[in-house]
Amino acid sequence: MTATAGRATPVTALWDEIAGQVAAGRRFAGLMGTQRDDGLLLSAHLAGPGQVTTHEVRLPPGARSYPALTPVLGAAFWYERELHDLFGIVPDGHPRLEPLILPQPVRHGPLPRPGAPGGGDASGEGDGGAGAIWPDVHAVPRHVLGAGLFTIPHGPVRSGVMESIEYLVETPGEDIPHLNLRIFYKHRGIEKRFERLPAADGVLLAERTEGVASVAHALAFAHAAERIGGVEEIPWRAALVRVLHAELERLAAHLDAATRLADAAGLAVAAARFGLHKERIARLTGRMCGSRFGRGVVVPGGVSALPGIAAADLLDEAGRLQRSIESDVRVLMGTASFLDRLRGTGRLAPARAAEHGTLGPVGKASGYRDDARRARPYDAYDSLGFSAPQEHADGDALARLRVRWDELRQSFHLIRQAADELADAGDGPLAVPCEFGSGRAVGWAEGPHGEVLYDLRTEDGRITRCRPRSPSFHNLVLFHEVFHTDILTDFPFIEASFGLSIAGAAL
Amino acid sequence: MSPWVLRGLRDGVVTTRWPKRPDGYADTWRGPVVVTGPPPPGDDPAAVCPTGAISRGPGAEVAVDQGRCVLCGRCVRRFPDVFAFSAGIGAASLTRPGLVVPPLPGTERDLAAVRASLAERTAALRRSVHLRHVDAGSDGTEEQEIAALLNPVYDIHRLGIYFTASPRHADVLLVTGAGAYGMAEPLRRTYDGMPDPKIVIAVGTDAVSGGLLGDGTYATSGGVGSVLPVDVWLPGSPPPPFAILYALLLALGRLPSAPAGTGGGR
């Protein structure tokens, strides 16, 4: 574990400590940088029962490199590439320091350096960062060499209605021995955009950081803001409304994944059925709050309003939807031609999933189950009952779909309990005042794809640094590794079974 | 027999009849904010808007640029006598200034000219239209709503509208997102690859103005209007499938003269 032994510095000492804690069972939840007057602050987050702890080390001003964490802890692979992109700092010993989130036109300007005093847009001197030579994005890199091998550049403009990402598929024609991802095309500069926003506006941007997990991002942001504001507890009804929307969002995302899988298998009726179910969930969400994605509900300190429909109607509707969906699920999971395409496809080994601290359904399907709703409960979750989780460890696309069906039942179960509670929860305010002031806190919420984490820093009511960490960013890197014996036609199944959002990864 | 055959019949016809018949869901949709009354003296309504969509005229009047509205509802909650959510799905406009409510003087005249020239270009498309979508830095929701057009509720195939995988076959380009610089060149190359006549629809407030990402940052250009010539501007955060369908039919000149509950084309 001590790849850095012999030249101990504060940085390597921290890396060794983090690696030790991860080996002892804590989960590596992210590494992020903050530019400050007195140097670059590196913050690593470790998740465990009940809390997320933050471990920090500050590099001296003007430092151009530091010993990389990746050789000690592989899960930091993308995080350190991102640090290199945003701050121009070189993690010494990193195995492949290619650009990850900054696209070519932006790379030639000043570096963003989130957290830099003064905030606003890109600041700081230097071009391209620490004298690095950036590769030409139009040249297609090759990592596997041999006779007859070629690279298919798949994206960033892809067939179908998809978010922009480029997959560089290296193949001899059918197998996929290697695959590379470029997520920088749709980088939007979200982290810099948070800076200098009034903290009350931050939740609106959080909702638009990763739209398919709008509620989860709003919750994680609000939890961080509430910690800074010293809000001990939000009103009970607000906690229940938050649960309702978070679970509806999960239903919509899982139904979307099922629709895409059915579509990939050419099951037109199944795709239509699950598309219809998803539309019904979106409409129910829209009737409750006016947005089909649950936007505008969560505010720091509580929620903005009660659902637009009565709890009894919500219970009825949820019951009808669940019966209708589960009946189609039974048929889908009995359709042999469909199951054949998923079984053994895109397998992520349990040991690899655990080593990476894989989040959400992808992790659960490989036997690594860390669910923030249970392990680090928030809002109303610790008062609501969960049914015992099913064990899955096959790690293939089929296991990931089975996990989604388990979660779907769980979500309906939670929605029923929350609606029941809400029906006789009395009245009173729906939000308590949340003063942002100055402070720093971490907030989390379990989104449809896994844990969303926000590292938030405020000064005098304005945001000075905000780093959203989407499960899409954490899990997407594993896409490299799941194409063992799979071929080109398995690609859409594996992509749909991961079910990730590029917006949250590229920020 | 495959069980799916019967499944397909289970719920009967779920497809909307819109635009031939009114659709209750479309009519009651909560769209971008409109102005319903004069602002109270002393208060500045512009200050509550996180995206600067609200502006004061030279007098006491206020205007809302719906192209910047992210539908957060703050102004509606704070000044219920001044602002309200619009009803219906007809938020799309053929010109960027056409998104300002109440309308600016001269907008109607400009619109008529734009509508006539667009009709000339789209006449050749008739009843078979192929769409290409490009994400230029969206938050991911616009893609969900565009993809929903294929579900059995909207089923745009019934209107002769299809998605195509190649820009070479595309007549309409749906662009989402705030105009990420990384996507500027792929977007332009897609546009250049499309045959004439071609139509560009900016889908969502982010694509129209950058939305919460602002007028332009180090990574985005404040909407796609600076990258491509946009024909239809569709605000919404995100716009629902019905509003996207409305924008499509508006571009193609295929809206009925008085479409139900949509507020008419503009």
Residue ending a domain, among B87, B114, B130, is B87
- Whether residues B104 and B221 share a domain: the answer is yes
State the pLDDT at residue B266: 57
- Whether residues B177 and B105 share a domain: the answer is yes
> Which DSSP symbol is given to A488?
G
| CATH number (domain holding residue B57) | 3.30.70.20
Does residue A43 register a pLDDT over 70? yes
Range of the domain at B73: 25-87
State the pLDDT at residue A251: 97
A149 vs A300, which has greater pLDDT?
A300
Average pLDDT, chain A: 89
Residue B13 within any structural domain of the chain: no
Listed range (A79-88, B52-61, B63-72, B196-205) with the worst mean pLDDT: B52-61
State the pLDDT at residue A119: 46
Listed range (A86-100, A327-341, A356-370, B249-263) with the worst mean pLDDT: B249-263
Q: Do B148 and A328 touch (CB under 8 A)?
A: no
Residue B255: pLDDT band with limits 50, 70, 90: confident
Q: What percentage of chain A has pLDDT greater than the value 90?
A: 67
State the pLDDT at residue A277: 96
CB A174: neighbour CB atoms within 10 A?
9
A295 contacts on B by Cβ (under 8 Å): 71-72, 237
Interface size A-B, in CB pairs within 8 Å, comes to 182
Q: What is the pLDDT of residues A120-155, one digit of tens each?
A: 444 444 444 444 445 555 666 677 778 888 888 888
Q: What is the pLDDT of residues B88-141, one digit of tens each?
A: 999 999 999 999 988 888 777 888 888 888 888 888 887 889 999 999 999 999
Q: Are strands B129-135 and B172-176 parallel, antiparallel or unpaired?
A: parallel
Question: Scanning every residue of chain B, which has its alpha carbon at the shortest distance from the alpha carbon of A500?
Answer: B140
Residue B221 within any structural domain of the chain: yes
Q: What is the pLDDT of residues A352-369, one digit of tens each?
A: 999 999 999 999 999 998
- Whether residues B71 and B47 share a domain: the answer is yes
What ipTM score was computed for the predicted complex, to two decimals?
A: 0.92
Q: In which residue are the tokens 């080994």 written? A: A349
State the pLDDT at residue A62: 85
Residue B2 within any structural domain of the chain: no
- Whether residues B158 and B242 share a domain: the answer is yes
State the pLDDT at residue B1: 54
Does residue A94 register a pLDDT over 60? yes
Rounded average pLDDT over B69-77? 92
Question: Scanning every residue of chain B, which has its alpha carbon at the shortest distance from the alpha carbon of A274?
Answer: B151
Q: Do B143 and A335 touch (CB under 8 A)?
A: no
Contact B68, B209 (CB under 8 A): yes
- Whether residues B38 and B110 share a domain: the answer is no
- Whether residues B115 and B207 share a domain: the answer is yes
A292 contacts on B by Cβ (under 8 Å): 145, 238, 240
Picking from A106, A267, A292, the nearest residue to B181 by CB comes out as A106
Cα R_g (chain A), whole angstroms = 22
Q: In which residue are the tokens 């219809």 written? A: A276
| CATH number (domain holding residue B132) | 3.40.50.12280
Rounded average pLDDT over A15-35? 93
Nearest CA to CA, how far is B94 from chain A (Å)?
A: 24
Picking from B14, B152, B217, the nearest residue to A189 by CB comes out as B217
Give dist(CA A111, CA A113) in Å, integer: 6
Nearest CA to CA, how far is B26 from chain A (Å)?
A: 11
Residue B226 within any structural domain of the chain: yes
Residue B18 within any structural domain of the chain: no
A293 contacts on B by Cβ (under 8 Å): 141, 238
> Which DSSP symbol is given to A445?
E
- Axis crossing angle, helix A214-228 with helix A236-264, rounded to the nearest 10: 150
Rounded average pLDDT over A11-40? 92
State the pLDDT at residue A131: 44
Contact A478, A362 (CB under 8 A): yes
State the pLDDT at residue A196: 79
Q: Do A186 and B30 touch (CB under 8 A)?
A: no
- Whether residues B147 and B229 share a domain: the answer is yes
State the pLDDT at residue A3: 45
Nearest CA to CA, how far is B139 from chain A (Å)?
A: 5
- Whether residues B248 and B130 share a domain: the answer is yes
State the pLDDT at residue A140: 65
State the pLDDT at residue A341: 93
- Whether residues B135 and B194 share a domain: the answer is yes
Residue B195 within any structural domain of the chain: yes
3-class DSSP state for residue B84?
strand
Residue ending a domain, among B87, B117, B140, is B87
Q: Is the peptide bond before A156 cis (omega within 30 degrees of 0)?
A: yes
Structurally, how many domains does chain B consist of? 2
Rounded average pLDDT over A220-244? 94
Give dist(CA B209, CA A498) in Å, integer: 32
State the pLDDT at residue A339: 94
- Whether residues B132 and B78 share a domain: the answer is no
- Whether residues B35 and B118 share a domain: the answer is no
Give me the phi and psi of A270, to 5 degrees please: -60, -45
- Whether residues B72 and B201 share a domain: the answer is no
Residue B9: pLDDT band with limits 50, 70, 90: confident
Contact A364, A374 (CB under 8 A): no
Nearest CA to CA, how far is B211 from chain A (Å)?
A: 10
**Domains delineated in chain A:** 10-107 (3.30.460.80), 150-186 (no CATH), 190-506 (1.10.645.10)
Residue ending a domain, among B87, B111, B139, is B87
Picking from B4, B177, B182, the nearest residue to A184 by CB comes out as B182
Residue B7 within any structural domain of the chain: no
Residue B3 within any structural domain of the chain: no
